[in-house]
């Protein structure tokens, strides 16, 4: 246990405020930023004609992800955080889950690109489309471990 945790009967109190600087808003901002980063390439690909006339450049789509990751203590260095065994295990599990989701996403992307031309699905044909996919993938992959860690490690009750 750390000096911030209060021991419980099973060795861990899920309501202990062990990680300073956590906020309920951060997990929702991370989730919204991930959804935004995933939605913009879909909008790019599904828009007929040139979406550049009405849709701004997609590069700012990862800024909310970067800001939300910087707001979370899990996005900063975890070496200085007073983590107990449960929190370390949850953080490790969050990273494993993020890597699994990333690999499944990459595999699904390649399957989609393989079958898109055959079945007439939307496919990246312009540099702007490929940039949107790359930028979105970068933002999502960078924020997934932090997003999963925020949801896996319980927050203290609101009154604390």
| pLDDT tens per residue, range 27-64 | 888 888 888 888 888 877 777 666 666 556 666 667 77
pLDDT class of 6 with cuts at 50, 70, 90 = very low
Domain annotation covers residue 4? no
What is the crossing angle of helices 63-71 and 24-46, to 10°?
Answer: 160
Q: What's the pLDDT at 5?
A: 43
pLDDT in tens, 98-127: 999 999 999 998 999 899 889 988 888 887
Q: Which residue has the higher pLDDT, 123 or 24?
A: 123
Domain annotation covers residue 10? no
Domain annotation covers residue 65? yes
Looking at the structure of the chain, the number of domains it has is: 1
| Owning domain of residue 103 | 24-47+56-76+84-152
Domain annotation covers residue 17? no
CB neighbour list of residue 120: distance below 8 Å, 6 or more residues apart = none
- Would the pTM count as exceeding 0.85? no
Domain annotation covers residue 67? yes
Per-residue tokens: 148: 């999963």
Whether 118 contacts 41, CB under 8 Å: no
């Amino acid at each position: 246990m750390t000096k911030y945790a209060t021991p419980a009967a099973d060795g861990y109190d899920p309501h202990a405020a062990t990680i300073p600087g956590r906020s309920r808003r951060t997990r929702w901002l991370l989730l919204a930023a991930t959804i935004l980063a995933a939605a913009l390439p879909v909008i790019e690909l599904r828009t007929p004609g040139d979406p550049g006339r009405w849709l701004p450049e997609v590069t700012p789509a990862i800024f909310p992800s970067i800001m939300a990751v910087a707001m979370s203590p899990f996005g900063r260095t975890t070496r200085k955080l007073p983590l107990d065994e449960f929190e370390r295990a949850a953080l490790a599990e969050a990273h494993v889950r993020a890597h699994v989701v990333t690999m499944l996403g990459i595999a699904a992307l390649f399957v989609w690109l393989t079958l898109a031309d055959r079945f007439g699905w939307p496919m990246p044909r312009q540099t702007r489309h490929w940039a949107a996919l790359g930028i979105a993938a970068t933002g999502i992959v960078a924020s997934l471990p932090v997003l999963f860690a925020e949801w896996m490690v319980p927050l203290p009750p609101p009154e604390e």
